[in-house]
């Protein structure tokens, strides 16, 4: 029995559908994937990070944007909606995020660490990619050096501070996890 072929969309078709849609979808090499809803922990982590970054960036050249800002990744033929993006400059169909943050969910963790991470790294403007676990205190920061190599820093204690060197910001890990009910404690 033959399977029916998957319809591949053009970028133009995707953008037209997205404009009229009631929900957001990501575009990956001609395929469209609806975005799942988020847990309370995910939403609280997102809010805490947005607040902490917003306060620290106020008055400077960079702005933090939530998950409604679409990022275009030309090299991977992708459009994504990161949980948070920091953009220094214009923010339309964003091609120039300096920092991207993803709050890991059980359904998206593999994608966020794998294909999406590789795609994000093709963005020349991206200096830091941050992953935040919603079940335990664990923040991972991947930082690009001047030589296009990536270093990995892990933060897993509430008394530490996440350093985001590219934008000159430090955020207490305790502020990120403020009021979050953790599943894996210890």
What pLDDT sits at residue 146? 83
Residue 184 pLDDT greater than 70, yes or no: no
DSSP character for 18? H
Q: Tell me the C-alpha distance between 6 and 20, whole Å.
A: 22
pLDDT score for 5: 55
Q: How confident is the model at residue 6 (pLDDT cuts 50, 70, 90)?
A: low
d(C-alpha 131, C-alpha 101), whole Å: 6
Eight-state DSSP code of residue 5: P
Residue 14 — pLDDT band, cuts 50, 70, 90?
Answer: very high
Residue-by-residue DSSP string for 71-124 = EEEGGGTEEE--SEEEEES--SSB--EEEEEEEE-TTTHHHHHTHHHHHHTT-T
Answer yes or no: is pLDDT of 186 > 80.
no
Cα–Cα distance measured from residue 16 to residue 32, given in angstroms and rounded to the nearest whole number: 12
The mean of the pLDDT values for the chain is 90
Lowest mean pLDDT among 29-33, 135-139, 164-168: 29-33
How big, in percent rounded to 5, are the helix, strand and coil portions of the chain? 25, 30, 40
Mean pLDDT of 14-34: 90
User: What pLDDT score does 54 carry?
Assistant: 96
**Residue spans per domain, the chain:** 38-176
Question: What is the CATH number assigned to the segment(s) 38-176?
Answer: 3.90.1570.10
| pLDDT tens, position by position, 92-115 | 557 789 999 999 998 889 999 999
**pLDDT score of 4 more than 60:** no
* 57-97 pLDDT per residue, tens: 999 999 999 998 999 999 888 999 999 999 998 765 577 89
Cβ atoms 67, 83 nearer than 8 A: yes
């Amino acid at each position: 029995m033959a399977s029916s072929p998957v319809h591949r969309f053009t970028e133009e078709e995707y953008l037209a559908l997205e404009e009229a849609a009631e929900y957001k979808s990501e575009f990956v090499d001609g395929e469209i994937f609806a975005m799942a809803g988020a847990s309370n922990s995910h939403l609280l982590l997102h809010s805490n990070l947005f607040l902490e970054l917003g306060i620290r960036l106020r008055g400077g050249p960079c702005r933090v944007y939530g998950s409604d800002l679409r990022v275009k990744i030309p090299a991977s033929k992708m459009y994504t909606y990161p949980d948070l993006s920091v953009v220094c400059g214009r923010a339309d169909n964003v091609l120039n995020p300096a920092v991207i943050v993803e709050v890991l969910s059980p359904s998206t963790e593999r994608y966020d660490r794998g294909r999406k991470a590789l795609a994000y790294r093709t963005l020349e403007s991206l200096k830091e990619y941050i992953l935040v676990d919603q079940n335990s205190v664990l923040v991972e920061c991947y930082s690009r050096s001047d030589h296009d190599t990536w270093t990995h820093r892990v933060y897993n204690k509430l008394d530490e501070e996440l350093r985001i060197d590219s934008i000159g910001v430090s955020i207490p890990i305790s502020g990120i996890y403020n009021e979050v009910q953790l599943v894996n404690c210890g």
